Amino acid sequence: MTASPARSEVAGPNGPSEPAPVSPNRRNIIFVAVVLGMLLAALDQTIVATALPTVVADLGGAGHQSWVVTSYLLASTIATAIVGKLGDLFGRKMIFGSAVLFFLAGSIVCGLASSMEMLVAARALQGIGGGA
């Protein structure tokens, strides 16, 4: 038996290729960006619970109250399952940027929501961004 290398190398047109080294400064910036994105998504999953009674009183539709939280979590779960493959196909940086845009758009629509149905849909849009 022969020993095989512990990691696989992808062969390019000029032979095996190694990923370019990342400077410590750039690595720290990437780390902070990812942590802030995860923090926003984690906070948004539950932060709406404190304001929900007031929002329901303003917009009506107490029957949709549970959907405000559920739509976010459901969309987030579905997006998480899909986004890994999209990151492989289109690049993680582009997918992360798109996720932030989805989250931002959902947040704006949540703030402008005039009905519970609109709020539930906007929370689902936020969930897509949060899950990615």
61-95: pLDDT as tens digits: 777 788 888 898 899 999 988 888 888 888 888 88
Q: Tell me whether residue 3 is in a domain.
A: no
In the numeric block, the tokens 């009674």 are attached to 53
Residue 9 lies in a domain: no
Neighbours of 128 (CB within 10 A): 22
pLDDT of residue 2: 53
Residue 87, CA distances (Å) to 21, 22, 132 in order: 20, 19, 9
pLDDT at 131: 83
User: At residue 8, does pLDDT exceed 50?
Assistant: no
Residue 17 lies in a domain: no
Residue 109 — pLDDT band, cuts 50, 70, 90?
Answer: very high
Q: Is residue 87 part of a domain?
A: yes
Q: How do residues 20-73 score in pLDDT, each as one tens digit?
A: 788 888 888 888 888 887 787 777 767 777 888 888 888 887 777 888 888 988
The residue segments making up the domain with residue 41 are 25-131
Query: Based on the structure, what is the number of domains in the chain?
Result: 1
Residue 19 domain flag? no
CA distances from 59 to 44, 65, 69, 116 (A): 20, 10, 16, 6
| Residue 20, in any domain of the structure | no
Residue 95 domain-assigned (yes or no):
yes
Q: Provide the pLDDT for residue 101.
A: 92
Residue 36 lies in a domain: yes
